[in-house]
């Protein structure tokens, strides 16, 4: 299984604060059956030039330590890019901010929006991204304020090529907010080829790694083949794995 969204790199953002905490997340990944994780620290236009060398150093350190500690987890480079008016131009000029194996053509941009942004903004971004040949993955759409009112819009954007990345724990059917996981499942059902899943893990205690909640709910609703599609096949194709 591939975790598409994880703040596992040590000392880069508000995720794992040091190597020890990165290794705790890595062990959680492996224990939950994840064999590949996309390391996606937060990034945005004004910091990425200083972020990139720090990210490369942290990526190398963690990759080497995973081998040394005999933890069977593969790291894939990535970034959770905070959307601005220049996101697509940035992705074209600096392909290092894309997710996937370097050198793979058509790697995707994992895009995060501000929480209250209208999802209609994504339609414009998707249009611009497609003109430039950059596939777009929208990070955790279920966390944005107008998600529940945007079912038709999201279906339309998926039909046009947008990929949705859902956070595993958001599939949990809490008593007060069942509408959100139900709508996430309905979007998986709309087109399972346009969905990937991630933990969005930051910390082994507070925001842990693992895809168990998504696996349980997606498999129960649609069977193992659909789970395999969203947790393995789709991300592998997007990332060039």
Contact residues for Fe ion (CB under 5 A)? 80, 200
HEC profile for 35-71? Answer: CEEEECCEECCCCHHHHHHHHHHHHHHHHHHHHHCCC
Angle, helices 120-131/151-159, rounded to nearest 10 degrees: 10
Residue 176, helix vs strand vs coil:
coil
Q: Going edge to edge, which strands form the sheet with 74-77?
A: 2-6, 36-39, 74-77
Closest CB 99 distance from Fe ion, rounded Å: 12
Residue in the shown chain whose Cβ atom is closest to Fe ion: 200
> Which residue's CB is nearer to Fe ion, number 3 or number 200?
200
Closest CB 166 distance from Fe ion, rounded Å: 12
> Which residue's CB is nearer to Fe ion, number 147 or number 193?
147
> Which residue's CB is nearer to Fe ion, number 88 or number 110?
110
Q: Going edge to edge, which strands form the sheet with 80-82?
A: 42-43, 80-82, 109-112, 136-139, 163-167, 195-198
> Which residue's CB is nearer to Fe ion, number 80 or number 170?
80
Structure-token match 């591939």, residue found: 2
For 118-130, b/e burial (b = at least 16 CB within 10 A) is ebeebeebbebbe
> Which residue's CB is nearer to Fe ion, number 169 or number 189?
169
> Which residue's CB is nearer to Fe ion, number 3 or number 80?
80
Closest CB 213 distance from Fe ion, rounded Å: 16
> Which residue's CB is nearer to Fe ion, number 170 or number 200?
200
Closest CB 214 distance from Fe ion, rounded Å: 15
Q: What angle do CA 170, 175, 176 make, to 5 degrees?
A: 85
Closest CB 5 distance from Fe ion, rounded Å: 6
Closest CB 7 distance from Fe ion, rounded Å: 6
CA-closest candidate to residue 4, choices 42, 38, 41, 40 = 38
DSSP string, 221-239: HH-HHHHHIIIIIHHHHHH
Closest CB 9 distance from Fe ion, rounded Å: 12
């Amino acid at each position: 299984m591939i975790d598409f969204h994880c703040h596992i790199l040590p000392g880069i953002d508000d995720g794992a604060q040091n190597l020890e905490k990165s290794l705790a997340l890595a062990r959680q990944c492996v224990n939950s059956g994840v064999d590949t994780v996309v390391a996606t620290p937060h990034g945005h236009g004004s910091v990425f030039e200083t972020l990139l060398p720090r990210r490369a150093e942290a990526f190398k350190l963690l990759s080497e330590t995973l081998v040394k500690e005999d933890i069977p987890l593969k790291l894939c480079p990535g970034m959770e890019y905070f959307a601005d008016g220049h996101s697509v131009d940035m992705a074209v000029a600096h392909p290092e901010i894309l997710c996937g194996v370097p050198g793979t053509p058509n790697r995707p941009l994992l895009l995060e929006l501000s929480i209250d942004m209208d999802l209609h903004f994504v339609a414009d971004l998707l249009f611009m991204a497609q003109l430039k040949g950059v596939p777009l993955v929208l990070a955790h759409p279920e966390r944005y304020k107008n998600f529940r009112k945007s079912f038709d819009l999201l279906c339309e954007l998926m039909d046009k090529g947008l990929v949705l990345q859902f956070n595993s724990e958001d599939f949990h059917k809490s008593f007060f907010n069942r509408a959100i996981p139900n709508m996430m499942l309905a979007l998986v059902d709309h087109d399972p080829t346009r969905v990937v899943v991630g933990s969005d893990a930051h910390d082994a205690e507070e925001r842990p790694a693992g895809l168990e909640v998504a696996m349980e709910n997606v498999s129960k609703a649609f069977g193992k083949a659909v789970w395999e599609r969203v947790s393995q096949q789709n991300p592998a194709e997007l990332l060039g794995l």
